[in-house]
Amino acid sequence: MILIAALWISALLVGGGFALDRVLVGAVTGNADDQLEYVLRSLLVSAEMDSTGEVTFNREPADQRFVEPYSGLYWQVSAPGHEAFVSRSLWDRQLAYGKPHDDRAVHSYDSHQFPDEELRIVERDVTLPGSKVRWRFQVASSREALNAQIAVLRRTLVRSFVLLGVGLVILAALQTFYGLLPLRRLRIEIAKMRAGRSSRISGKMPLELLPMVEELNALVAHNETQAEEARRHAGNLAHALKTPLTVIMNAATAQSDDLAATVIREARTMRRQVDHHLARARAVGRRGSAHSRAAVWPSVESVERAVQRLYPHVRIDMTGPRDLVAHIERQDLDEIMGNLVENAAKYGGGSVFVTVGAQAGFVEVVVEDDGLGIPEADRVRIFDRGVRLDTGKPGTGLGLAIVRDVAEIYDGTVALEESEDLGGLLVRLRLPMAS
């Protein structure tokens, strides 16, 4: 940033300095030309023709330098075929005539006709009364004084612009340093968090950095929550597997007669626990994606077709808008809907009704059946892993637990109610609507 600022300031100052130099040099040179033109006009006013047809002056220019040889100020009147009428200051030299002019304007230019002296010349061609010859009146001045003025002007200009440029670069450096100082403080705070000396970014920060600080603290809190969830579920899985393994080891140590049946039973229990925790782990891993989107109606239709093949005697009706999209991965939505619809078909009396709708930024899916329902006292513990109210039908007791856990991972909810239309269980699933 400092280098870019220095380059840009330098470019602007060089460009501005060049333009200002052109303006000031032009002004100084123009002022010198005005003085020479004034002398030229005085020569024209005092010029007249003598009896021999040559130019003479009725009064000499007042400037003493015109009579001092090589004084640096000269005049000359000349015409083709006539001897030049020159000031005494030219002594043994003459000004070059140059090309004739077709206009009556005053012309000014620099001349290097004298090797040891650069000249500034103004000239004009006129026809004097009583003469048919076009005479060229020239007034010349040495550029030494003019160049000295321009040199002083340029030195002052360069020094001023260099000082200005250095000051601006220093100001840009200080502004960059102090402007980025909060970021260095933020880096130190993050280093403290990484070293374990703090858990959050604290301290007063500028308003411009507060949103980033809040997002970083939220990210840290999110990561801590995920780490805590991972530790808790790892402990839950270890605890869930510990009991079946203990039973198997005790049966094997005692050389029990029903060892095979015990191994099969406990292995099935362990497989249910592993499936449950794997499903939750997959959902947690996909939760971080802000692009998680799943169309609800296609998921409901695919689940309905699968369940219909398993329970052909069950009638499944569906209604609701078909364009709703939930903030959830399609695989997780299929797993949730599969558990809910399959439970309704398995434990219901033959009729299942699925209603899809939207309410207050959530996609709401209601699954009703005409079964016996669940008593209100059991609607909380039915979500616990392995709890089954009807043990006469096959199952693992993990279906509703998986539904609840996966829905909560996506900030959704699951509630059990009584169906007013069918008389059985009503499951109300709410998931955030995708924007």
Q: State how far Cα 338 lies from the chain centre.
A: 44
Structure tokens at 170: 């220093």
User: Residue 242 — very low, low, confident or very high, per pLDDT cuts 50/70/90?
Assistant: confident
Compute and round to an integer the Cα radius of gyration of the chain. 51
Instruction: Quickly state the pLDDT bin for 280 (edges 50, 70, 90).
Output: low
Average pLDDT over residues 264-279: 76
d(C-alpha 97, C-alpha 78), whole Å: 7
At residue 166 the predicted structure's pLDDT band, cuts being 50, 70 and 90, is very high
pLDDT digits (tens, 9 = 90+) for 259-268: 888 888 888 8
- Return the amino acid letter for 225: T
pLDDT for the residue numbered 391: 43
Pick from 37, 46, 138: which is nearest to 93 by CA? 138
pLDDT number for residue 279: 66
Higher pLDDT among residues 219 and 394, named by residue: 219
For residues 388 and 381, give the distance between their C-alpha atoms in angstroms, rounded to a whole number.
10
Chain centre to alpha carbon of residue 21: 39
Cα distance between residue 343 and residue 424, in whole Å: 12
Is the confidence at residue 386, as pLDDT, over 80?
no
First to last CA, the chain: 38
Strand-pairing partners, residue 74, are 140
- Angle, helices 330-347 vs 296-310, to 10°: value is 40
pTM of the model: 0.50
Give residue 314's pLDDT: 92
Convert the pLDDT of each residue in 341-378 to its tens digit. Answer: 998 998 888 999 999 999 889 999 999 999 888 888 77
Q: Angle formed by the axes of helices 259-287 and 210-253, to 10°?
A: 170
pLDDT for 388: 45
- CB-CB contact of 393 with 267 (8 Å): no
CA distance 25 to 155: 12
> pLDDT-derived band of residue 98, with 50, 70 and 90 as boundaries?
confident
Residue 389: predicted pLDDT: 44
102-110's contacts with Cβ under 8 Å and 24+ in sequence apart are 106/37, 106/40, 108/33, 108/36, 108/37, 110/143
Residue 157 has pLDDT above 90, yes or no: yes
When the pLDDT of each residue in the chain is averaged and rounded to a whole number, the result is 86
Pairing status of strand 315-319 against strand 351-359:
parallel
If you count them, how many residues does the chain have? 435
pLDDT at 397 over 50: no
pLDDT at res. 59: 87
For residue range 217-232, list pLDDT tens digits in order: 888 888 887 777 777 7
Bigger pLDDT: 198 vs 22: 22
pLDDT in tens, 29-68: 999 999 999 999 999 999 898 888 888 888 888 889 999 9
**Three-state helix/strand/coil letters over the chain:** CHHHHHHHHHHHHHHHHHHHHHHHHHHHHHHHHHHHHHHHHHHHHHEEECCCCCEEECCCCCCHHHHCCCCCEEEEEECCCCCCEECHHHCCCCCCCCCCCCCCCCEEEEEEEECCEEEEEEEEEEECCCCCCEEEEEEEEECHHHHHHHHHHHHHHHHHHHHHHHHHHHHHHHHHHHHHHHHHHHHHHHHHHHHCCCCCCCCCCCCCCHHHHHHHHHHHHHHHHHHHHHHHHHHHHHHHHHHHHHHHHHHHHCCCCCHHHHHHHHHHHHHHHHHHHHHHHHHHHHHCCCCCCEEHHHHHHHHHHHHHHHCCCCEEEEECCCCCEECCCHHHHHHHHHHHHHHHHHHCCCEEEEEEEEECCEEEEEEEECCCCCCHHHCCHHHCCCCCCCCCCCCCCCHHHHHHHHHHHCCCEEEEEECCCCCCEEEEEEEEECC
pLDDT at 394: 42
Distance, in Å, from the CA atom of 222 to the CA atom of 292, rounded to the nearest integer, reads: 18
- The reported pLDDT for the residue numbered 226 is 74
> CA–CA separation, 174 vs 99, rounded Å?
60
Angstrom distance (rounded) from CA 57 to CA 79: 16
Single-letter code of the amino acid located at 152: V
Taking residues 179-183, what's their average pLDDT? Answer: 85
Q: Is 400 within 8 Å of 343 (Cβ atoms)? A: yes
Tokens describing residue 190: 């993050």
> How much is the average pLDDT of 332-345?
90
Percent of all residues in the chain with a pLDDT value above 90, rounded to a whole number: 44
- Give one word for 411, left, alpha or beta, with left for phi > 0 and alpha for psi -120 to 50: left
